[in-house]
């Protein structure tokens, strides 16, 4: 594997899930596979879980790790071509990428959507510049439109906790005071569509996810109807993906004060089939979810975060294997 953005990049999901189980039982099993290999993790945006879990995964495989926070200690980087660099950005990504690639074997990228130019974000411009100009395998640690390490960890968590062969999984929009990217819901939808689950998406009208990710998933605009009989509830805010109205891309369509009935609370959870609550974290309590739901024994937010180490170990191992081919 030379690039990791989408569920298809992992091949057969059942094989990947079996590998995740194997690694979880013995996370240092492949400690020799990364000897003398260096992972460079490049962060254009903040992170807690991705930063720690991906470093831990690399260590599980015996790799060396370098972490670069582009906005703290490095030169500010220009990412667009054809601009006159007379502002505060001292270096262009097109020089910085080949320089970074001199010091590593694999590169992880965290670079969020700008949420102003849909075409630029959905082309994954920054990620593909790394692929093109580094000459090294590259993997997404949440890019403009996807967060596959999170979605893989979410799927591992569902597999571990499901009580039915084909559980009902509901992805629900929830309110937030700031405009957030669509990366997490996009990837969650993509991975759930590839998994053996009954998948339903619920959100207010106007927040339709890009069909590339939503696929044929059922969309139910009535949140209470969507929650009926659910086995897993996955909450997340996202800004307008601009599918039905491109001019609204990246916008919040209604004041969050008027949307607090979408906050996941005991009212909605009561009509599920004792559903497990999920969220990628960080989460704003009182906005996305009520304290009582996230603190309940049915909450899976910590196991999900723990599984980030496992998903990253599988992905890094696959990349290392690809380097031997
Ligand atoms: N879920 C997730 O990616 O968390 P961080 O933003 O803290 O890495």
Query: Is residue 80 over pLDDT 90?
Result: no
Q: How many whole angstroms from 82 Cα to the centroid of ligand 1?
A: 32
Fold of 149-304: Rossmann fold (3.40.50)
Alpha carbon nearest to ligand 1 atom 6, residue: 47
Q: In the predicted model, what is the mean pLDDT of residues 284-310?
A: 98
- Predicted TM-score of the model (pTM): 0.97
Ligand 1 centroid to Cα of residue 142, in Å, is: 8
Beta partners for residue 64, in sequence order: 38
Pocket test for ligand 1, best of 181, 280, 284 (most atoms within 8 A of CB): 280
Return the percent helix, strand and coil in the chain, to nearest 5: 40, 15, 45
Taking only the tens place, the pLDDT of each residue in 158-188 is: 999 999 999 999 999 999 999 999 999 999 9
pLDDT score for 71 = 85
**Is the backbone peptide bond immediately before 282 cis, with ω within 30 degrees of 0?**
yes
Model confidence at 14: pLDDT above 90: yes
Which pLDDT score is estimated for 74? 87
298-303 contact pairs (CB < 8 A, 24+): 298/269, 298/274, 300/157, 300/161, 300/232, 300/276, 301/277, 303/157, 303/160, 303/161
Q: How far apart are CA 13 and CA 155, in angstroms?
A: 10
**Could you tell me the distance, in angstroms and rounded to a whole number, from the CA of residue 49 to the centre of ligand 1?**
5
> Can you tell me which atom of ligand 1 is nearest the CA of 48?
7
Q: Which tens digit of pLDDT belongs to each residue from 261-283?
A: 999 999 999 999 999 999 999 99
- pLDDT confidence of residue 73: 83
Distance between Cα 86 and ligand 1 center (Å): 33
Q: Whose CA is nearest to atom 1 of ligand 1?
A: 280
At residue 1 the predicted structure's pLDDT band, cuts being 50, 70 and 90, is very high
Per the model's pLDDT, the better-predicted residue between 72 and 111 turns out to be 111
Pick the CATH number of 3-146+308-324 from 3.40.50.300, 3.40.50.1370, 3.10.180.10, 3.40.190.10: 3.40.50.1370
Q: How many of the other CB atoms lie within 10 Å of CB of 176?
A: 18
Q: How confident is the model at residue 81 (pLDDT cuts 50, 70, 90)?
A: confident
- Find the 221 Cα to ligand 1 centroid distance in Å: 28
CATH topology match: 3-146+308-324 vs 149-304: yes
What is the pLDDT of the chain when averaged over all its residues? 97
Which atom of ligand 1 is closest in space to residue 280's alpha carbon? Answer: 1
Ligand 1 geometric centre to CA of 150 (Å) = 8
Residues with CB under 6 A from ligand 1: 47-50, 142, 150, 280-282
Per cent of the chain over pLDDT 90 is 97
DSSP three-state, residue 147: coil
Q: How confident is the model at residue 82, as a pLDDT?
A: 92
- For residue 324, the CA-to-ligand 1 centroid distance in Å is 30
Taking Cα atoms as reference points, which of 148, 222, 156 lies closest to residue 190? 148
152 C-alpha to ligand 1 centroid (Å): 13
pLDDT band at 230 (very low <50, low <70, confident <90, very high): very high
Confidence bin at 325 (pLDDT 50/70/90) = confident
Average pLDDT over residues 310-323: 97
Mean pLDDT of 107-117: 97
Predicted pLDDT of residue 77: 92
- Place 145 in a pLDDT band, splitting at 50, 70 and 90: very high
Extents of the domains making up the chain: 3-146+308-324, 149-304
> What is the atom index within ligand 1 of the atom nearest the CA of 142?
3
- Choose the residue to mutate in 308, 309, 312 for probing ligand 1, maximizing ligand atoms within 8 Å of C-beta: 308
Which protein residue's CA is at the shortest distance from atom 4 of ligand 1?
A: 49
Q: Which atom number of ligand 1 is nearest to the Cα of residue 51?
A: 8
Per-residue pLDDT of 42-54, as tens digits, reads 999 999 999 999 9
Q: Please answer whether residues 111 and 127 qualify as being in contact, where contact means their C-beta atoms are separated by less than 8 angstroms.
A: yes
């Amino acid at each position: 594997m030379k690039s990791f953005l989408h569920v298809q990049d992992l091949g057969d999901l059942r094989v990947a899930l079996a590998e995740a189980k194997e690694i979880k039982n013995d996370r240092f099993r492949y400690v020799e596979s990364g000897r003398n290999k260096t992972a460079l993790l490049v962060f254009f945006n903040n992170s807690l879980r991705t930063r720690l879990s991906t470093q831990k995964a690399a260590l599980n495989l015996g790799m060396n790790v370098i972490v670069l926070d582009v906005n703290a200690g490095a030169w500010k980087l220009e990412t667009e071509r054809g601009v006159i660099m007379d502002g505060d950005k001292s270096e262009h990504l097109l020089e910085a990428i080949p320089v970074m690639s001199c010091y590593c074997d694999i590169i992880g990228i965290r670079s969020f959507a700008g949420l102003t130019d849909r075409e630029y974000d959905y082309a994954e411009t920054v990620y593909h510049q790394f692929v093109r100009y580094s000459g090294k395998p590259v993997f997404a640690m949440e890019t403009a439109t996807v967060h596959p390490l999170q979605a893989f960890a979410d799927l591992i968590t569902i597999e571990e906790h499901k009580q039915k062969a084909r559980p009902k999984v509901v992805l629900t929009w929830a309110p937030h005071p700031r405009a957030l990217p669509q990366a997490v819901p996009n990837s969650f939808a993509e991975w759930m569509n590839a998994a053996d689950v009954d998948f339903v998406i619920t959100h207010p009208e106007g927040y339709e996810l890009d069909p590339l990710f939503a696929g044929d998933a059922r969309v139910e605009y009535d949140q209470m109807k969507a929650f009926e009989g659910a086995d897993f509830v996955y909450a997340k805010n996202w800004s307008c993906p601009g599918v039905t109205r491109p001019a609204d891309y990246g916008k919040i369509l209604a004041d969050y004060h008027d949307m607090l009935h979408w906050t996941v609370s005991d009212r909605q959870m009561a009509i599920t089939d004792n559903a497990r609550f999920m969220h990628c974290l960080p989460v704003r309590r009182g906005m996305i979810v009520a304290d009582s739901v996230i603190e309940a024994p049915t909450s899976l937010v910590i196991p999900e975060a723990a599984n980030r180490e496992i998903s990253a170990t599988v992905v890094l191992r696959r990349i290392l294997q690809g380097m031997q081919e």
